[in-house]
């Protein structure tokens, strides 16, 4: 199936819109289905132990959701895992096909395939992993009938390009669910996001920058602010960044579009990825009126050596370093313990040791110390 980069960039409008307006996740899934072809899609959050959870479906029968959780969630071979702790410790965000998880012959013999998926023309499946919090797994799954055939490498590659944006938007969306006031909700959600996030006015003026974004501006090797506006340090890409922002902030909403660019900077082995997407603030009511632009900056080599730096700077053990990095990413102590396959009591002992070695007393103080000392850059950024 042919697809263009521009069609994928337009999909970013919906993806980041869904971060604020959860109802748009249905539109996001419909757009993903149209990009690679399929019968339908489902955004699902489930417990990997018992399969229970919640789901939102696109291009399908909503009754199927109730049917699934009333019985089939308990026999879905792609959701249940025999060893949850090992699964959590080894889990990584990937785009997977059914055959990556289970041999096709075994899958086609299963009750789940024959009695649940086939009647819905979902003989072939592709799953986009979004998040794992404790034992709760979030994925977007796209199903295909035989008329489309199995998913091929170009289909996987297209979803892999969009996956980082889906992950960030889903994380922001989940934070909004737990927030009570929309007047400060967007700012709070951006502040809790580990990636560098800028909220800009339509003319490029920075309305808000989270701590990671502020850190990036302070470094000045890739982006800086002048006159309150976000600028690229490298002259030859400064115009491209300005164009990216202006397109996302067009007065006519129908003309607004998202996009990305690569941004090279001094001392960085690989370029940063800068993505700008329009936001409908009239529903969020965060900063009075007018259009706004969400700019996200990520580094492909981020966190690659964070635990090594921590060990060197603060004489932490490897296990203590891994725990500190997880806490800096925003995980709770319990979620961090699940990720690394240790008990919560062991995690508490490790955290106590970390506090003693770093002379801190709270997790917030620990994160600030790590960032100020360069022990770990804010998640999503690397200073190499």
43: CATH? 3.30.450.80
Q: Does the predicted TM-score (pTM) go above 0.75?
A: no
Confidence of residue 264 (pLDDT cuts 50, 70, 90): confident
* 48 and 136 share one domain: yes
**CATH number of the domain within which 246 lies:** 3.30.450.20
* pLDDT on residue 372: 58
How many domains does one find in the chain?
3
Residue 143 has pLDDT above 90, yes or no: yes
* 170 and 318 share one domain: no
Residue 329 structural domain: 306-372
Most confident of 77-86, 123-132, 177-186: 123-132
* pLDDT on residue 379: 45
Confidence of residue 177 (pLDDT cuts 50, 70, 90): low
Higher pLDDT, 110 or 335: 110
Q: Would you say residue 205 lies in a domain?
A: yes
Q: Per residue, what are the HEC states of the chain?
A: CCCCHHHHHHHHHHHHHHHHCCCHHHHHHHHHHHHHCCCEEEEEEEECCCCCEEEEEECCCCHHHHHHHHCHHHCCCCCCCCCHHHHHHHCCCCEEEHHHHCCHHHHHHCHHHHHHHHHHCCCEEEEEEEEEECCEEEEEEEEECCCCCCCCHHHHHHHHHHHHHHHHHHHHHHHHHCCCCHHHHHHHHHHHCCCEEEEEECCCEEEEECHHHHHHHHHCCCEEEECCEEEECCHHHHHHHHHHHHHHCCCCHHHCCCEEEEECCCCCCCCEEEEEEEECHHHHCCCCCCCEEEEEEECCCCCCCHHHHHHHHHCCCHHHHHHHHHHHCCCCHHHHHHHCCCCHHHHHHHHHHHHHHHCCCCHHHHHHHHHHCCCCCCCCCCCC
- Average pLDDT of span 70-96: 87
Give the range among 83-87, 148-152, 266-270, 362-366 with minimum mean pLDDT: 266-270
Q: Would you say residue 118 lies in a domain?
A: yes
* 67 and 171 share one domain: yes
Which of 268, 298, 328 is where one domain is finished? 298
Q: Would you say residue 382 lies in a domain?
A: no
* 279 and 367 share one domain: no
* pLDDT on residue 53: 86
């Amino acid at each position: 199936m042919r697809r263009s980069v521009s069609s994928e960039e337009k999909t970013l409008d919906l993806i980041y819109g869904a971060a604020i307006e959860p109802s748009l996740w249905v539109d996001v899934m419909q757009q993903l289905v149209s990009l690679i072809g399929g019968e339908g899609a489902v955004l699902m959050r489930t417990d990997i132990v018992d399969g229970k959870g919640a789901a939102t479906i696109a291009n399908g029968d909503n009754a199927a959701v109730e049917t699934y959780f009333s019985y089939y969630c308990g026999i879905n071979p792609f959701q249940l895992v025999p060893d949850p702790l090992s699964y959590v410790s080894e889990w990584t965000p990937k785009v997977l096909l059914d055959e990556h998880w289970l041999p096709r012959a075994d899958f086609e013999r299963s009750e789940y395939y024959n009695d649940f998926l086939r009647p819905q023309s979902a003989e072939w499946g592709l799953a986009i992993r979004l998040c794992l919090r404790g034992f709760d797994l979030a994925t977007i799954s796209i199903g295909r009938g035989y008329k489309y055939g199995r998913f091929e490498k170009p289909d996987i590659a297209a979803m892999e390009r969009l996956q980082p944006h889906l992950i960030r938007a889903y994380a922001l969306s989940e934070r909004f669910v737990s927030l009570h006031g929309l007047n400060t909700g967007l700012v709070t959600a951006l502040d809790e996001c580990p990636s560098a996030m800028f909220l800009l006015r339509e003319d490029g003026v920075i309305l808000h920058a989270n701590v990671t974004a502020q850190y990036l501006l302070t470094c000045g090797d890739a982006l800086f602010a002048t006159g309150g506006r976000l600028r690229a340090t490298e002259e030859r890409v400064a115009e491209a960044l300005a164009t990216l922002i202006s397109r996302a902030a067009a007065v006519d909403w129908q003309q607004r579009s998202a996009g990305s660019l690569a941004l090279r900077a001094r001392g960085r082995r690989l370029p940063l990825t800068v993505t700008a997407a329009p936001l409908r603030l009239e529903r969020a009511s965060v900063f009075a009126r007018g259009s706004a632009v969400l700019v996200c900056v990520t580094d492909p080599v981020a966190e690659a050596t964070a635990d090594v730096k921590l060990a060197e700077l603060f004489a932490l053990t490897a296990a203590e370093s891994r725990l500190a990095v997880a806490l800096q990413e925003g995980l709770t102590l319990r979620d961090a313990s699940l990720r690394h396959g240790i008990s919560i009591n062991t995690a508490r002992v490790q955290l106590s040791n970390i506090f003693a070695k770093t002379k801190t007393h709270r997790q917030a103080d620990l994160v600030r110390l790590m960032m100020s000392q360069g022990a770990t850059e804010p998640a999503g950024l690397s200073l190499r």
